[in-house]
Amino acid sequence: MKRIFSFWAFMLIVCANVVAQDLYPRLDTTKVYEVETVEVITTYAKRTTPVAQDNLSQEALVRSSYGTDLPAALSLTPSVIATNETGIGIGATSIRLRGTDATRINVTINGVAMNNPDSHAMYWYDTPDLISSVGSVQVQRGAGVSTNGSGAFGGAVAMTTDALSPDFGGSASLSYGSYNTNKQSVQISSGLMNKHWVVDARLSHIGSDGYIERGSTDLKSYMAQVGYYGSNTKVKLLSFGGLAKTYLTYNGVTKEDMKLYGRRYHDSGQYVTSDGPFVLADGTHVDYYDDQTDNYLQINNQLVINHTFNNKWMLNSTLFYTYGYGYYNQYRDDADLSEYLNLGVDGSADLIRHKLMDNHLGGANMSVNYKTRNLDLTFGGSMSYYNSPHWGTLSWVDGVDDVGGKWYDNDAVKLDGNIFARADWTIYRGFMDNSLHLFGDLQYRYVSYRAWGTNDNAISSNGVVTMQPIDVDKQYNFFNPRMGISYIHHNHNIFASVAMAHREPTRSDFTDRHMFASDDGYPKPERLIDFELGYTFISPRLTLGVNLYYMLYHNQLVATGRVNDGYDSLNVNVDKSYRRGVELMASWKSTKWLTLSGNLTLSQNRIVDYVDELSGSPTYGQNLGDMTISYSPSIIGAISADFHVKGFSLIWNTQYVGKQYFTNNEIEALSLDSYCVTNVDLGYLHEFGDKRSVRFGVVVNNLFSTLYESNGYGYSYMDGETRYDDAYFFPQAPINFLANVTVNF
């Protein structure tokens, strides 16, 4: 039914294009028409900004929009790793940057923070097909520039939505590939109407069965924009988001189970039944709850206003409101009923439970820019308010009639505000683009976080079982200064900088410490001092870059390898730790039809005098000396070849990721093996002129069918005198394909 709808939608757009030739004639090519971009770029770094940065090309974004999530495109930049739970890059995807996870990577779009204020994570599938609405993406490594939302502790991803077109036009895109992966998307723009107005809209659907068994994904998304362009004032009202439904695949699989049942196996939603249609290797009959899913609706609304007072002063402001509502459906086989106090019964039984949340985030960003030939000043700030109730219900318990009521109920509110002042001062300007720049960026950030009620963890004290109480009331005052210097001489750019950043703990850091910590105190906020030294050479055919970094942390929250009931990472503060390394980049246009490029990151990521404070750990209380930080490979590298001739293209990408430990104890059984994966993109573009074109493409992922896992988790514990190392992995698909046809008109 969806494919039929997509076909008729495609035909409707094509017919509308034909009719529009008479109703909306093409703009007179003898005149110059320009719709200036309405965007907020205060979270962006300029070429002169002393920050390690990469800007993704529009072509790379388009190629990644055939169905996979944005992390696939981000992984093309230095020091970035993309992970995925379903095995094919769609659904539960994430990134790590310089070894830091998604909760420490600040993500903004039009300057609005996209990280969840509670968990600090960026859930890409909560904004399905976002990549199709993005106009520009900049990846900043290190502390970056002042931003909104949680601090950047490994890097930042700054995005803007796509610019509105002055011409009537649109596109239709269809994709289909392995594991029933499919995408349908239509987009249309009104073009400039009455010299002031532009309307743009997009609808998309992405679906897949997933490589992992039952790892299905069903993503529906939309994007709508209205732009007004006056002589000095430009306004854009936009709304984007969608509805995501994904099967729960976040529990991973052991290597033993992979050997017994295959690499696609996982047991989420599995229950034992005498007449189950599936038989395990040991003869046990099982079945699976077919609605073991994560469901989430997110709607992002933004009003962006740019006003130019004169050739020196400009005002940017953004009002935003984000609504989110989501829930898990989970089947629990042989669950301990004493952990669900609302039932008032003991024993064990199968049950179906629901974990729900309701999110509201609203606020405003504002900045004023003053610019002359030698001075670029920006002053601004942001204020946001977040409210999120969390609660759980039971819809069925085997053998229990009365299952009404909530088995946990809590609420959280967060006030997040900042003010900043940023200056780029050109203290010397000579011939041939020869200039010396001083950079300063001062930010004050205030955070108030409160959470109260009962959590979803049942705890026992002196034989009495209660739901874990939550009582958090914390305020933070962070001062984040940044300063640096850059020198540009024609093709050469050299910079040095030092930056300080702070970050508050996440919700899980507060609520789940009782599961592993040696004390019941609050987690501490983190501090980072980031030193960067970089050099780039840019010419029409050759680009070279080297960046040295030394990131010193105090009270860094590092992953322990353990996860909570929702499979969020459990983190622990460590007093002293660091990440230091070198990033190398090169790109060579050897001929007009072939470009070769690559990047390499070599790093050390260490905890100084690590004391194991995880209760139940075999090394509890021991000082293990300097240890490697979990999930931090010492080598990440990639090579690419970009071949173009007469509309044909072949793009080859190979990435190597070194070994990663799940814990901070350097235990071999709790580690992720290094892997090397190659993807190939084949395409043919035929242009009809006047922005009309059709492109046929095929993406071949994991060309050599490498058997690898991109992520995992694990921990050690003692049972009597026996030590156990439990490790769980997320296998990735062997060679798989995704074909696409896109028509632009």
Q: Specify the 3-state DSSP secondary structure of 258.
A: helix
**418 in Cβ contact with 367 (< 8 Å):** no
pLDDT the model gives residue 35: 53
pLDDT the model gives residue 106: 95
User: Taking Cα atoms as reference points, which of 331, 318, 399 lies closest to residue 366?
Assistant: 318
* Contacting residues for 233 by C-beta, under 8 A, at least 6 apart: 305, 306, 307, 308
Q: Specify the 3-state DSSP secondary structure of 298.
A: strand
pLDDT the model gives residue 29: 35
Instruction: Please list, residue by residue across 127-162, b when 16 or more beta carbons sit within 10 angstroms of its beta carbon and e when fewer do.
Output: bbbbbbbbbbbbbbbbbbbbbbbbbbbbbbbbbbbb
Please tell me the distance from the alpha carbon of residue 469 to that of residue 647, in angstroms, as a whole number: 62
- DSSP 8-state class, residue 28: P
* Residue 724, domain CATH: 2.40.170.20
Domain count, the chain: 1
User: Taking Cα atoms as reference points, which of 538, 582, 688, 702 lies closest to residue 52?
Assistant: 582
- DSSP 8-state class, residue 33: -
SS (H, E, C) 375-409: EEEEEEEEEEEEEEEEEEEEEEECCECCCCCEEEE
Tell me which amino acid residue 139 is: V
Q: What is the pLDDT of residues 123-149, one digit of tens each?
A: 898 888 988 889 899 999 999 999 999
CB atoms within 10 A of CB 334: 11
Phi, psi of 493 (to 5 degrees): -145, 120
Residue 435 exposure: Cα atoms within 13 Å on the Cβ side: 15
pLDDT the model gives residue 38: 59
CB atoms within 10 A of CB 461: 7
* Contacting residues for 552 by C-beta, under 8 A, at least 6 apart: 528, 529, 530, 531, 578
pLDDT the model gives residue 39: 62
pLDDT the model gives residue 22: 36
**223 in Cβ contact with 201 (< 8 Å):** yes
Domain that holds residue 70: 2-744
Q: What is the pLDDT of residues 666-679, one digit of tens each?
A: 999 999 999 999 99
* Contacting residues for 467 by C-beta, under 8 A, at least 6 apart: 341, 407, 408, 454, 455, 456, 457, 458, 459
Please tell me the distance from the alpha carbon of residue 183 to that of residue 193, in angstroms, as a whole number: 31
Please tell me the distance from the alpha carbon of residue 218 to that of residue 560, in angstroms, as a whole number: 32
* Ranges of the chain whose pLDDT falls below 70: 1-40, 518
